[in-house]
Each structure stands twice: as structure tokens, then as C-alpha cells.
Structure 1
Amino acid sequence: MVISESEKIIEPIKNKKILNGVKQNIVPGEEIYIQINNYSNDHVLVATSKGLYIFKAGFMGGATFGSKVTQFPYGKITGVEIKFNLLSGSFEVYSGSTQKIVGIGLNNVVNASNSIVIDKNDRGKFERAVITIRALMDFHSNNQQMAINAPDILDQIRRLSDLLKDGIITNGEFEQKKAILLSKI
């Protein structure tokens, strides 16, 4: 999937522990589409061509003396959302292995591996990020479905070829059915 430059949100990472984590976890060839800090620079969201990462560092990152990273391959993500109360909010990622956070309490969000604490000033950039991430999820979901369907379609074409060889269908019928099947890949 190609993300246009106008859809990308790339901020410099201000936390050295997180910057080191990004360097260690993002593999060569993995294109970064989103890289945004929360208001305190101890949580960073990174969306790449392969998946979504949440990096946290320090006390407010739930990693008092270090940093931690949670990776979410797009195929495993079931949803992303932003929640807000009067003063603060959270960006949350849902997958089969994460639980939905009940309430926006700071401790709940800080300690959960699938969330980032945000404030009202972060809201716009995280809302843009949600739109891009959902597009990436759709793209990866469609590609997985095509990969699942492709072997079945190829088997159907092979069976049609056998019918053609046995004289059961004509060459015109074979080509017509083959074109229909190939259009589904």
C-alpha cells in the first residue's frame, strides 16, 4: 500500500530510550508512515508498512528504569480508537491478545501495553493516525483474503483445464471461466 506524503505524520522522537527502541525494532525496508509522540514524550506510536508499534519509556511509560515495546501486526489488529474525558484521553489498539481498557484512568492507560496516554493537544494528530491505521488494516486484510483465495482459484483453473483436455468444455468456455476466476485474485 502506498501512503502519500500528505498522509504521513512523522515527528522526531524526543526520548532517547524510545529512539533506541525504534532503531532496534524497525527492520530495514520497513517504511514508517506514522511516528508521533504523546504530550510527555514517553509514549510513541509508530505505524510502518508491516505493523503498529507502541513504545513506552520511563515512569509515565510504565517502564520506570527502561523502555518497552509492543508490536501489533496489522493482520492481528481488530480495532483502534481514541477515548477522551474532560482533560485527557487514550489511543488504544485492540487485538486478540489485548483487553479493552475500562475507563481512561491514567494508571490503566500507562500500564496497558496497547494504549498511549494523550491530551487534548494530541487529539488531532492521533485522529489522523487512526484513519491511516484503519486504511492499513483494510489493505492487509484484503491482501490476506486474496492470499487465502488464490490457491483455491488456481485449483479451479486446473480443473477447468482438465475439462478442456477431456473435451467436456470448449476453449472459449475455458478462457471465459479462467478470466472470471483470475479477476478474483
Structure 2
Amino acid sequence: MANCVKCGASNLGMGRTDLVIVDETWYCSRCLKSTLGTVSCSKCGNQPFRSGEHFKTINGEVLCTDCMEKQGIMKKYDYVMSSVMSRPRAARTTQAPRGLAALGTMKDLLEQNLEPGEEVEVAVLGNTGEALACSSKHLFILKAGMASGSLTGRKCIKYRWNQITGAEIKAGALYGLIEIQGNGLPSHDARNISQVKQAENAVTFLIAKQGEFEDALSTIKQYI
């Protein structure tokens, strides 16, 4: 149904993560705290992940969906659906790191596949269990969990630059993908993002992170 606007965690599937909407933007608990700090309803004191409510700033005051309904402002269902259907917005954060630090728990997977002395130039996280990185020698597609084909799986697909003929970002309404092109590599459709998640030549992402992937694409094209 939705992904955290920062880390891409999904509220669907076996590894689902609880999400909350704050001002039409979806967050997991960790990213909400690091991005907006403590959020609470100015009327009743409800807080995210404690009450089951979502939140919206109205006339300078943060209200939970329960208080919005009681005041006749908006029904909870309508607010949730409008947030699902609207184009995700970037969170109010500083620019994401582009090096190994950007990969979080997938950092060690990449490090295991680096050659001695090989340095990562760009690294970006996609949707849950997906990441992309590159050095002057290789481009890496990282997959973990269900994105790797099994709940506990992890794999790194490594391409030499002479194996790559192109790279492209394809964007849909809610999700996008970056596709690595080369001899025998398949093409993918951003409208069928669930079918792309396990692809070994693509990484999917929430559309709010498109800017990060466009920056990565600029670096990739320097080596093709």
C-alpha cells in the first residue's frame, strides 16, 4: 500500500513495517523520529504508532485523524486514501549520503564484494531490500530478503563497466526504477513494479527518492 518516504520500508508483505501518515507523507517510526522529532495531536495528545491514528497540520496545529473526524474536517478513510493516491513528497531532510553510509544494513554485503582498494563513489537505497552502488571498476545491484528471492537471502550482482551499454530511470505514479542495460539484460516496466523487485539489473524506489537515483545515474553515465 505504501512505503516510508525516507528508507522505503513497506507496510505490505511478510516483512511489513508499521507506517504513519504525517502531512500526506508516510514514515516508519525510526524515520519519523529522525526527520520530524516528536509528533502529537494538539487537541488530544495522540502520538504516532500509539493510537493507530494519522496526522495532519491544519491552520498551524497538528491534528490526529480522530480529532479531524470529530471536528468534521475530514474522515480518516478519505485522508488515508488521498495520501495513497497522491504523489509522494520528499521528506524534509538534508541530502542523503552518497557513500557506503547510505546503505545501512546492506553496507557489509557490498564490502564483501569490493576488490582490494576499490572505493565506492555512489550508493543509494531503493525499496526494502534493494540498493545500488558503483565504483570506478564496477556497478553493484544489491538484493536482500524477498528482493533476493528468499526471506533470509542476500546477493550482490556485480557488473564490469564494459558489460554495460546504458542505464535508464523509468518512473510511474508512485514508484520508479533504475535499469541497467546490456547484452541479454531484460527491460522492465515501472507500471509493474512488483515484478521488478527481484530483477538482477534493476532497483526499484519510491518516487520521492528519484532525485537520489538521478544523481547516481549521472555518475553511472560517466563510465558507460
TM-score by length of 1: 0.63
Aligned residue runs from structure 1 range 1-185, under 5 A: 9-10=98-99, 11-15=101-105, 18-40=106-128, 42-137=129-224
Structure-2 separation of matches of 1:96 and 1:12: 30
Structure-2 separation of matches of 1:85 and 1:111: 18
Matched-pair contact (CA < 8 Å) for 2:143–2:198: no
Per-residue deviation at 1:19? 2.5
Per-residue deviation at 1:22? 1.1
Structure-1 separation of matches of 2:160 and 2:191: 25
Runs of 4+ in 1 over 4 A off after TM superposition: none
1:72/1:44 CA distance change after superposition, 3 Å: same
Per-residue deviation at 1:70? 0.9
Matched-pair contact (CA < 8 Å) for 1:90–1:104: no
Per-residue deviation at 1:39? 4.3
Q: Which amino acid aligns with 1:51?
A: H
Alignment length (residue pairs):
127
Per-residue deviation at 1:107? 2.5
Structure-1 separation of matches of 2:123 and 2:176: 18
Per-residue deviation at 1:61? 4.5
Structure-2 separation of matches of 1:44 and 1:99: 18
Structure with greater helix share of residues = 1
Q: Which amino acid aligns with 1:35?
A: A
Computed over aligned residues only, the root mean square deviation of the Cα atoms, in angstroms, reads 1.8
TM-score by length of 2: 0.53
Q: Which amino acid aligns with 1:14?
A: G
Tell me the alpha carbon deviations over residues 38-93 of structure 1, each in whole angstroms, 9 at most, x when there is no partner.
Answer: 243x1111101101000010124544221111111111101111111111111110
Q: Which amino acid aligns with 1:71?
A: K
Matched-pair contact (CA < 8 Å) for 1:80–1:92: yes
Structure with bigger gyration radius: 1
- Corresponding residue SS for 2:103: coil
Q: Which amino acid aligns with 1:33?
A: E
Matched-pair contact (CA < 8 Å) for 1:39–1:119: yes
Per-residue deviation at 1:106? 2.3
1:103/1:87 CA distance change after superposition, 3 Å: closer
1:118/1:61 CA distance change after superposition, 3 Å: farther
Q: What corresponds to 1:156 in structure 2?
A: none
State the identity as a percent: 28
- Corresponding residue SS for 1:110: coil
- Unpaired segments ≥5 residues, structure 1: 1-7, 138-185
